[in-house]
Chain A
Amino acid sequence: MKITELLENGSFVVTGEVGPVKGAIPRDASFLPPCAKEAESLRGQVHAINVTDNQSAVMKLGSLAACVRLKELGHEPIYQITCRDRNRIALQSEILTAFSLGVDNMLLLTGDHTHLGDHKEAKPVFDLDSVQLCRIASELLQGKDMVGNDLAFKPEMCIGAVVNPNFQPLELQLMKMRKKIDAGAQFFQTQAVYDDRVIDDFVEAASKLGRPVQMGVVLLKSPQMGAYMNQNVSGITVPQSWIDEIGSVDKTDRKKKTAEMMGRFIRRHKSKFQGVHIMPLGWTDVVPMILEEAEVSVQQAAA
Chain B
Amino acid sequence: MHATIQKPIEEIVGFLRPDEKVFVVGCNNCAWKCHSGGQEETEAMAERLSRRGANVVGYTVPGPQGMSLCKLDHTRKVLQEDYSEQVREADSFLVLGCGQGVHTVIDATDGGMVHPGCDTIFGGETVSESEINEYCSLCGECVIEFTGGLCPITLCAKNLLNGPCGGAENGKCEVDAERDCGWILIYERLKAMGRLDLMEPYQKPKNHARWSRPRSLKVSPHEATFCSQAGPITVSNQD
Contact = CB atoms under 8 A, between A and B. Distances in A.
A113 B157 contact: yes
Interface string B164-183: 11111111001110000001
Contacts of A167: 164, 166, 168
Contacts of A127: 205-206, 208
Contacts of A110: 158, 160, 165-166
A169 B184 contact: yes
B166 A162 contact: yes
B164 A183 contact: no
B163 A175 contact: yes
B208 A235 contact: no
B163 A112 contact: no
A146 B158 CA distance: 21
Task: Classify chain A: how many residues form its interface, as a range.
Answer: 35 or more
Nearest to B159: A126
A128 interface: yes
B159 A169 contact: no
B174 A116 contact: yes
A148 to B, nearest CB: 13
A195 interface: no
Contacts of A237: 169
Interface stretch (B6-14, B30-38, B196-204, B216-224): B196-204
B197 to A, nearest CB: 11
B174 A129 contact: no
Task: Classify chain B: how many residues form its interface, as a range.
Answer: 20 to 34
A83 B156 CA distance: 14
Nearest to A115: B175
B205 A88 contact: yes
Which one of A128, A132, A164, A234 has the highest number of Cβ atoms from chain B below 10 Å of its Cβ? A234
A135 B161 CA distance: 14
A146 B207 CA distance: 13
Contacts of A113: 157-158, 167, 174-175
Given A110-B160, A110-B165, A167-B166, A175 B208 contact: no
A182 B200 CA distance: 11
B162 interface: yes
A176 B163 contact: yes
Contacts of A173: 163-164, 166
A164 B199 contact: no
B154 to A, nearest CB: 13
A168 B160 CA distance: 17
Given A110-B158, A127-B208, A172-B183, A116 B175 contact: yes
Contacts of A172: 163-164, 183-184, 187
A223 interface: no
A113 B163 CA distance: 15
A42 interface: no
Contacts of A88: 205
Contact of B199 (A126, A136, A175): A175
A186 interface: no
B73 to A, nearest CB: 37
Contact of B158 (A126, A163, A166, A168): A126
6 contacts: A126-B158, A127-B206, A132-B161, A164-B167, A167-B166, A169-B187
Interface of B: 157-171, 174-176, 183-184, 187, 196, 199-200, 202-206, 208
Given A129-B162, A132-B161, 18 more contacts: A112-B167, A113-B175, A115-B175, A126-B159, A128-B205, A129-B161, A131-B202, A135-B202, A163-B166, A167-B168, A168-B171, A179-B162, A179-B163, A179-B202, A234-B167, A234-B168, A234-B169, A237-B169
Q: Which 7 A-B pairs have the closest CB atoms?
A: A164-B166, A234-B174, A176-B163, A234-B167, A131-B162, A110-B165, A129-B160
